[in-house]
């Protein structure tokens, strides 16, 4: 199990004569990923989700806060003593086309980390090949076909499976999947998501899923937790299905509203929220971070910064001074309206169910 408390990270931009510009990538983020659990981080680019993923994978330092892996706090350990812990957290990159060495066959790609693993655990060399075959079967590809091939001979979906198999060579506790399906063909995306869900069950490996597309977060398991990040702050946190169907933070609602509606199959939600455009990406640091773009912001929002907490009325935690559930996600059009007739299901009255 991995927990983080109060993780902050500030990037300082150097090189400017007029003084350094600071970007506060993370402003005190708490999280917990359990063995076999699933946590999704969503938000726009620049919200800090990738930085958080890199910190959790041990690839980036953090300014303050504490990461605890299996009960051991990382801040007390030196670099060398941290390594075995962070090795148990493996990163799956976004781009399966550049994540694999093009001059190595898949066999060579898997052999190197497995040989290391064999040495660490005192297993014989013969274990390496057997394990490579086993891992490829586990991720759903034919080892006989894939092992002798180079990455360019494989499709995007196959490459991503190889990347996942490579991450599994280290017997990880947690897989950090940063936009792991955004570059995969649409017809194969669900396959990769189903694989991650399957690995949770079969290997008890935790999944930390980072994405800008909330819809994909539904498919890594119905017990998953969702964190919505905005400018380095978690603004809403709770069960994925709850946040998608009953979001209370206007930023979450904006993200959900922006998901395209499949007209003909779905009808748009009745209360879609469109945020005002960010004029200054730096923005003000006073009050609620989302207030400058929020259509519902009041004077209070400009003055006070809400913190993430339960208010007792919702299942999820949120950081909003004026929380309200809005129906922003598309409604299934099937069985609700005859194709061609535009029917608004703005109210709860289910017109189609009677027909």
Partner 1 sequence: MSPDPTAPTSHAHSAPGVRVRGLTVVYKTPMGELPAVSNVDLTLAPGTITGVVGESGSGKSTLALCLLNAVQPPGRIAAGSVEIDGLGDVVELGGEELRRARGRHVGYVFQAAQNSLNPLKTIGKQLLDLGRSHGVADLRALVRDAKDLLARMGMDGARVLDSYQHELSGGMRQRVGIMLALVLNARVVVLDEPTTALDMITQATILRIVREVHDERGLTTLVITHDVGAVAEVADDLAVMYGGRVVEHGPVKEVLGDPRHPYTQGLIRAIPRLSGDIGEARALPGRPPTLGTLPAAGCVFRERCDRRMDVCDTVEPVALTRDGRTVACHAAAEDADRRLTAARRKEFA
Q: Which residues bind partner 1 (CB under 8 A)?
A: 44-45, 155-158, 185-191, 193-194, 212-216, 218-219, 222, 244, 254-266, 268, 274-275, 277, 281, 329-334, 339-340
**Distance in Å, CB of 44 to partner 1, minimum:** 4
Q: How far is the CB of 281 from partner 1 (least distance, A)?
A: 7
Task: Report in angstroms how near the CB of residue 62 gets to partner 1 at its nearest.
Answer: 24
Least distance from partner 1 to the Cβ atom of residue 283, Å: 14
Task: CB nearer to partner 1: give 45 or 299.
Answer: 45
Q: Which is nearer to partner 1, 263 or 304 (CB)?
A: 263
CB of 226 to partner 1, least distance (A): 12
Specify the residue, 248 or 333, whose C-beta has the smaller distance to partner 1.
333
Residue 90 or 257: the one with the smaller Cβ distance to partner 1 is 257
Please name which of 308, 323, 293, 248 lies closest in space to residue 27, comparing C-alpha atoms.
Answer: 308
Return the SS3 of 163: helix
Give the count of beta carbons closer than 10 Å to the beta carbon of residue 68: 16
Taking the least distance from each CB to partner 1, the nearer of 72 and 194 is 194
Residue 213's closest CA among 184, 172, 234, 235? 184
Nearest distance, CB of residue 140 and partner 1, angstroms = 10
Nearer to partner 1, 67 or 100 (CB): 100
Assigned token pair, 135: 């891992």
Strand-strand pairing, 206-211 and 174-178: parallel
Between the CA atoms of 205, 211, 215 and 217, what dihedral angle is there, to the nearest 10 degrees?
Answer: 20
Q: Where are the beta strands (DSSP E) in the chain?
A: 2-13, 21-33, 38-42, 64-69, 72-73, 89-92, 174-178, 206-211, 225-230, 233-239, 266-267, 317-318, 331-332
């Amino acid at each position: 199990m991995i927990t983080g408390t109060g993780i902050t990270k500030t990037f300082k931009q150097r090189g400017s004569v007029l003084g350094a510009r600071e970007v506060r990538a993370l402003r005190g983020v708490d999280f917990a990923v359990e063995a076999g659990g699933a946590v999704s981080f969503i938000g726009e680019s620049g919200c800090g989700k990738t930085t958080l993923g890199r910190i959790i994978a041990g690839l980036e330092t953090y300014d303050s806060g504490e990461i605890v892996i299996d009960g051991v706090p990382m801040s007390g350990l030196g670099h060398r003593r941290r390594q075995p812990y962070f090795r148990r957290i493996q990163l799956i990159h976004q781009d399966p086309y550049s994540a694999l060495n093009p001059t190595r066959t898949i066999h060579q790609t898997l052999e190197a980390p497995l040989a290391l693993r064999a040495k660490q655990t005192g297993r014989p060399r013969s274990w390496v090949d057997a394990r490579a075959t086993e891992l490829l079967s586990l991720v759903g590809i034919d080892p006989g076909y894939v092992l002798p091939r180079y990455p360019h001979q494989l499709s995007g979906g196959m490459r991503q499976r190889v990347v996942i198999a490579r991450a599994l060579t280290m017997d990880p506790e947690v897989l950090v999947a940063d936009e792991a399906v955004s570059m995969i063909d649409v017809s194969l995306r669900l396959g990769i998501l189903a694989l991650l869900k399957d690995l949770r069950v079969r290997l008890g490996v935790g999944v930390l899923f980072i994405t800008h597309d909330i819809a994909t977060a539904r498919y890594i398991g119905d017990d998953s937790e969702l964190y919505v990040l905005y400018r380095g702050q978690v603004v809403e946190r709770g069960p994925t299905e709850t946040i998608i169907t009953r979001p209370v933070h206007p930023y979450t609602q904006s993200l959900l509203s922006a998901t395209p509606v499949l007209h003909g199959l779905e009808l748009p939600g009745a209360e879609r929220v469109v945020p005002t455009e960010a004029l200054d990406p730096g923005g003000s640091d006073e009050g609620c971070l989302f207030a400058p773009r929020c259509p519902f912001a009041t004077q209070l929002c400009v003055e006070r910064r809400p913190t993430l907490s339960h208010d007792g009325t919702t299942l999820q935690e949120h950081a909003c001074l004026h929380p309200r559930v809005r129906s922003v996600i598309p409604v299934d059009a099937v069985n609700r309206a005859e194709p061609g007739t535009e029917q608004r299901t703005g109210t709860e009255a289910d017109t189609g169910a009677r027909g």
